[in-house]
Structure formats: C-alpha cells, structure tokens
Amino acid sequence: MLSVDKYLEGQSLGAGDRTSDGGAHVRPVRMGGVYELRAALQAGEGDERLRLTPVPLEFRDADGALVDPRLICDQVLIPGLDPLELETLPPIELSDGVMAGALASRFFIAPPDAVEVRIGPVPNGIAILRLEVEPLNVNWASAAVAGSFIKKIEDVSLRRIALLKAALPGLNERDPAARALTVTPRRQLESIARRFEPRGDWRGVLNPEDLDAAVADHQRRMERLRSQTEHLPKVGFIGSDRGYERLEGMAELYRLRQTKAAEQLRLLDLDLIVIEAGAGCGDDDDRDWPLAFSALDGRLPDAGAALFDLAEAHGTPVHLWLTGAPGIAVCWRGAAERAARVVLEGRAEEWAGVWDDLQEKIHRVRRATCPTACSVGSLRKRERDRMLVPAVADIFQYPDFAALIVADSVAAMLLMELRYAFNAASLGLRIRREDRQSVGAHTRAQERLILQSANLVLLPAQSLRSDSELLVAALDAIASGAVPVLYGDPRSDEPLLGALDRVRNVIDLIELQALYRTPWVLERRWRGLMRKVVESHVWKMPDRMAIFGRDPFPEGFDEPRVSSILITRRPQLLAHCFESFRKQSWPNKELILVLNTGEVPDELPEPRENEHVFVLPESANIGECLNRAIAQSTGRYWAKMDDDDFYSRTYLEETISYYVATQADSVGRQSTFFFFSATNETQGRLRLTQNYNRVLQFGHVSGASLSGDKMWLSLPFSAADRNSADSNWVAKLLNAGVTVMSGDTTSIVVFRSENESQHTWHMTVDPNVMKQFRIYSAGSIAQRLDAQL
C-alpha cells in the first residue's frame, strides 16, 4: 500500500524550474527518453467538481524551434498529449490526501531533436500546485518489467481516486476527469511499451547464396577500382585480411608465403613488399608469420632477416606498415631498422616519441577504412532492429558489459569476435539466453557481410583491445552502413570515438535502440558519421604515396568534378535553382542549367565562373534536355537536380561517396519524404526505407536524384518519352545489368505543389499511392533532415 508521502515525493514547483516568456514551464529532456509528467492543478473559483483543464505541451530543439511529436512516425502517437487534459481540483481546502489524489500522471517520449519540453501556460484562474518531469528508468523491452510498471501505475490511480472520493463526496468514477485519471496513463504507457517491443532477426544473414553474391560484388568493386590506376604497382604482402583488402584496390597484390617466399620473389618481379605489423596473417598456414619479424627485445629474428636478405638480393624495397597500437612498436624495432620505409598509421600525437632516431624513414598515414571494401551498398533490403556486438571476449572479462548483453533488448543482438577466439559453449553459460545468436570462427568476407547487415554496432569502451582497435571497428561499421555505439567513455581523445553515441546502462541502450528504430533518425546519424569518416579516415593521395612511394591513381582522383544538371521551365524558380547548387559542400563542381523555355528570362541571376546556362525550346522533352546537358558537362559525374525540390548541402558530396563505395554506374535516391504545400505537411513512405544504401536488382529511384558516372555509363535518355523519361531510363539500366545504387532517403525532400498540373506524376489523386504516406510533421522538415549531427 502506497502512503500519501510516496505520492508527494519529487521536486516542488520552482526547484529547477525555468519559465518561458509566454508563461510555460520548461524542463530539459533527452531525445528518445521516456518521462513522467506529474502535475497538480486547482481552480480559483467554481463548483466543487473535479474537472479537466487543457494545458499546452510542446517540444523544442536546441534552436528553440518547435519539434513535432509525429517525427517518431513508425508507431501510433502517444494519446492524450495534444493538448494535455489534466485533472483540476475545485477551490477546496488542501490537505496532504487531497494533494496526493490530485497529482495527475502523464507519460511521453521526447521526440528526435527535442532538448526541452514546455508545459503551459495554464488558463487564467488555474493555479499550478506542483509540477514535476522525471525520466523513467524502466526497461520497456522486458514484457515482465513493463507490465509490472503499468500495473503499479494502475494501482496508484485507484489510490488517487479513493483519496479524491474522500475529499469530494460527489465524485463519480464515470466523470471525464475521473476517467482521465485512470484511463489516460494506462493508454499512454501501453503505447510507449509498444514502441519498445523487441524485434529484429539475424537468422539467415550468412546463407551461402548471399555470401557468394557479396564476395562477387566485392571482387567487382576491387577490379573496377584497380582499373582506374595509372601505375598499378606489383606488391608482395604479409599481413591481415583487412590489411590486404585495403591495398587490393590500388595494387596488383600477392600474398607472400613463408615456405615459398624465395620462389615468389624470383618469379613475380615485385615492385615492393609490404609487411603489416600488428595483426596476424589471414591465411591459416601463415597466420603466425609476423612473429618472424618481431621479438620482445626488439631484435629481428633470423627467419625475418632472411626475407629482408632475399628482398635486397632482388632489389625489392620492403616497407613496414604499423597498423596496431603504438605499444607494439618496441617489438618491431629490428624490422624497422632493416625496412626501407616505416609507415605509422594513426595520429602524430599517438606516435610521439616512437623511433625519433628513425625519422628519416618514417611516414605517417591516417588510421583508415576502405569504403570500397566495406561497402554501404547492400545487395538486399536492410532489415531493421539488428545490433551487432563484435567484442565477445570482453563479455568474459567485464561483468558490467556482460550484464548489458544479458538484459532484455529492443533490437536483436548478434555476438561475434573481431580478434580473439572464444568457446561457444562457455559463452552460452555466461549469458544464458537462447535468443542471443553468436558467430564463431569466420572469414573476413563473412565479417563484411555481417557488418553490412547491422543497423547498430555496440563497442565497449573498457575493452581488452586498444582504442585504436575500437576505432577500426567503428570505421568499418560506419563504412558498411551501421551506426556504432560506445558503452562507456573512450579512454583516449580520439575524435571519432568521442563523437559516437554513448550508453552507460541498459536503459540508455534500449532508449537509443528505440530512437534509431525511426529510420530517418538512424539515416541522418549515419550520414553525419560517414562524412567524418570520408573526411578524416579514408586514404588520400599523401597516404597512398606514403605506403607505396608513389600514388597509383591519377591527379584529381580524390576530388573528381561533378556536374549538376538542372532543367527548368519555371523562371520564378531560378533563384532556388542557383541556391540549391551554390550551397553544395563539394568543392569541384559545375552547374549546367538548361532553360527549357526557348528564351533567357530577365530575372536570371548573374552566373558564376562554374555556372553555365543554355536554352532549348519548349518542344524539347526532358530526355533531350538531359542528354544535351550531360554532353556539355565536363565532370566525371553528372547529378540531376530538380528546380523545386530541397537538396541537403552535402548532397553532391555524399553522391560521390556512394560512387566510391559501390563503384556503381548510377546513383540515385528512393526519396521517402514529400512536402505537400497544399496542407503544409511533410509526409513519407516508410516502406521505402529498407531500400536505402542498397544496390538495386529491381525497383526505381526518384527522378529528382538521378546521376551517372561518365567513365562507365553512356546510355542516353529517350528523346521520345514525354512524361516517363526518368523511370524508363532507370528500367533500361537495370535491364542492361549495370550497377544502380539507391542511397539515403534523407538528403532530398520532394516538393509537391497544390496545383497537380505542375507535376508529371499526379500522385495525390491516386488513393493507392496516398495510402502509403504518413504525416511526419507540420511544415517542411528539410532543414531538420540536413542538420549536421
């Protein structure tokens, strides 16, 4: 039995309270967090009835902008929030019992981007006696825990009714206010619990057909990347599978075998030998060969010295490439002294003071992933609610991490180990959960496919492995299309690790999993992380020169030109056209603007040096306009942009990243977001989100997002199609077997005018189309999708 004192626990009005200029009470919230609002209201005059008072409740972001709760749009909205209707006491004497009974409870989830909730102002004549907003530390993913909590709140509601009946003899449980006291909290909690219901399935991820297809696509990407080199070096390699895949796209690579090295050097006429220090070899027969080049006292063992002798005899330089943590350097001192070049991977501050006397031969490269190898371009639809835990060994070593894995979870978990071997039977005894699948011994190809199949990757900050290894795992996860999450705080100041989401307990984890169940939130987060990876953790020309001694790729390879193709018949949108192009972050760009009007309008903005304007008559269809614009362009890539749609400022930058990662012939977007000007709403098609970051075998991409790689693709648009040139062109690409990539669904918002005649596709008159849509927000959320997180 709960006491009156229990009802009255919590902060009183004014303790930590902040009031807005409009009289609303402001409380901080964390997006995705679950909160209880408790409030006691009293009317200043009137009869002695319990009544309901409508009280505004709204969420704001860090800029003070309104956040629509519908932004979490993959579930039924929590009822009874817009507005709040709170039980309100009549003007009676306040006792502890009356106050306890009058304390109304309401529950909500803070939507994406929300940093504060504003309650009120209340109507004139209503006093706020108490106001509390507290986070709920409930594991909603556990049906037993959630059910127990809901039952507890129901019991509290019955106690409150009893207390109010004692103070208000005329109170009837069928009165709206009395029903709100008991019914509304339960309905809200049931809605919240549905959002946290466990989902996701890892079964079938490593089926042989998908793995074979993924391996074949990996080979295709590597072959296409190598074909773009000017000077393909012949390189003998000793090191890990991951090290091999990072070099194979830019070299003719041969694995040197410990028992056959002399014969290989005699026959292969190598330009270079690269020895990777810090990881075992990928081949079982040579897995321990790196031990031949290192020792605890730093000397070079005889077996390793023999390879250096062979290389010298053939005039082949040897480069030592340290990919592990700096702490391993002491073991490789002898090899470093013999090597023609020493390449240290990581930030300069990591390696400060290491081998200062060898500075003349030391080169540094960024700690990096290869996005062409760990490609975001999945060959199948991306299932949601999958979390990968690639650090099984840490479960055995750290009890708090094990407890996190054992607890009920929103997303299905797959347990795997990136470095160490583990005993599956021992793991089963440790976690004792039949629903936790695990993968034991596996190949690098299987590892890539698993990473590509994950939405989230959980990494323990307190780990057997160094922060440099954690960083590598995070980099490969991001490059594969997943969002890494750190359990705890990083031990170093590595910027990317510091930028990851952090969880400190199971409640943090399930709330984050549920937040990222909303597809656009997960995608936007991934896009931001991927830009960080491309900027700071992908090798550029200086890195390649450091590892090989020269850059295999031609000048300008890292920053190819992209031509923005824009066709318009609407002079009133010219300013928007130029703005869409000029705000793009990619530096090497040009605009090819075709006025499909037969004349240059007076309101044409002054073009800049990289902006070119052409005119075609109205009789020219979109296909002819596109073909002529592409022929006029000077970029390796062309990217179509429509005159009225919204494009993120990183749209072209990310398009180039998709080409690099997938080596596709064409890249587009299956846009899920439309802004309908007639209703001033952003709506979306949730079902298309599974086609983000996917290499298509069938389907479509939005005509507003088409692009092509002129190095590989020369299929023209039809000059005969009047209204379907875009869709027919994509269909021809897929029928021809060329590679078409569908990227993210959050970097473009399609504009729909109130006047359907302005659009080729008259979608709003088709009920079968419109039933696919759900409202995400009032107004346009284009700026929110473009937020740099």
Q: Is the pLDDT of residue 104 over 70?
A: yes
**Model confidence pLDDT, tens digit, residues 615-633:** 999 999 999 999 999 999 9
Q: What is the pTM of this model?
A: 0.94
- The pLDDT mean for the chain works out to 91
Instruction: Look at residue 726 and tell me whether its pLDDT is greater than 50.
Output: yes
pLDDT digits 0-9 by tens, 596-614: 999 999 889 999 999 999 9
The angle formed by the CA atoms of residues 457, 460 and 461, to the nearest 5 degrees, is: 125
Mean pLDDT, range 702-723, rounded to an integer = 90
Q: What is the pLDDT of residue 787?
A: 82
Question: Which one of 3.90.1650.10, 3.90.550.10, 3.40.50.10790, 3.10.105.10 gives the CATH number of domain 559-785?
Answer: 3.90.550.10
* Residue 163: per-residue pLDDT: 92
Verify cis geometry, omega within 30 degrees of 0, for the bond prior to 552.
no
Higher-confidence residue of 404 and 719: namely 404
Q: What per-residue confidence (pLDDT) applies to 438?
A: 92
Arithmetic mean of pLDDT, 245-257: 96
Distance CA 705, CA 693 (A): 14
pLDDT at residue number 583 = 97
Percent with pLDDT over 90 in the chain? 78
* pLDDT band for position 432 (cuts 50, 70, 90): confident
pLDDT tens for 176-222 read 888 899 899 999 999 999 999 999 999 989 999 999 999 999 999 99
**Which CATH number is 386-518's, of 3.30.465.10, 3.40.50.2000, 2.40.50.100, 3.30.70.600?**
3.40.50.2000
Q: Which of 33-37, 285-289, 759-763 has the lowest mean pLDDT?
A: 759-763
CATH architecture of 231-365: 3-Layer(aba) Sandwich (3.40)
Q: Which comes out higher in pLDDT, residue 475 or 700?
A: 475
Residue 8 pLDDT exceeds 50: no
**Residue ranges of domains in the chain:** 4-195, 231-365, 386-518, 559-785
pLDDT digits (tens, 9 = 90+) for 107-164: 999 999 999 999 999 999 999 999 999 999 999 999 999 999 999 999 999 999 999 9
Q: How far apart are CA 369 and CA 625, in angstroms?
A: 39
- 50, 90 contact by CB (below 8 A): yes
pLDDT at 759: 63
pLDDT at 369 over 60: yes
Cα distances (angstroms) measured from residue 389 to each of 201, 373, 495, 529? 14, 21, 22, 19
User: 10 vs 671, which has greater pLDDT?
Assistant: 671
Cis ω for the linkage preceding 83 (within 30 of 0): yes
The CA–CA distances, whole Å, from 83 to 58, 118, 121, 122, 260 equal 9, 12, 11, 11, 77
The 3-state secondary structure of 647-693, one letter per residue = ECCCHHHHHHHHHHHHCCCEEECCCCEEEECCCCEEEEEHHHHHHCC
Q: Cα–Cα distance between 269 and 275 in angstroms, integer?
A: 17
Binned at pLDDT 50, 70 and 90, residue 789 comes out as low
pLDDT of amino acid 762: 64
Q: Is the pLDDT of residue 175 over 90?
A: no
Identify the pLDDT of residue 5.
43
Element (H, E) at 437: strand 437-438
First to last CA, the chain: 47
The closest alpha carbon to 277, from 317, 319, 338, 315, belongs to: 319
Domains 231-365 and 559-785 share a fold: no
pLDDT tens sequence across 389-430: 999 999 999 999 999 999 999 999 999 999 888 888 888 888
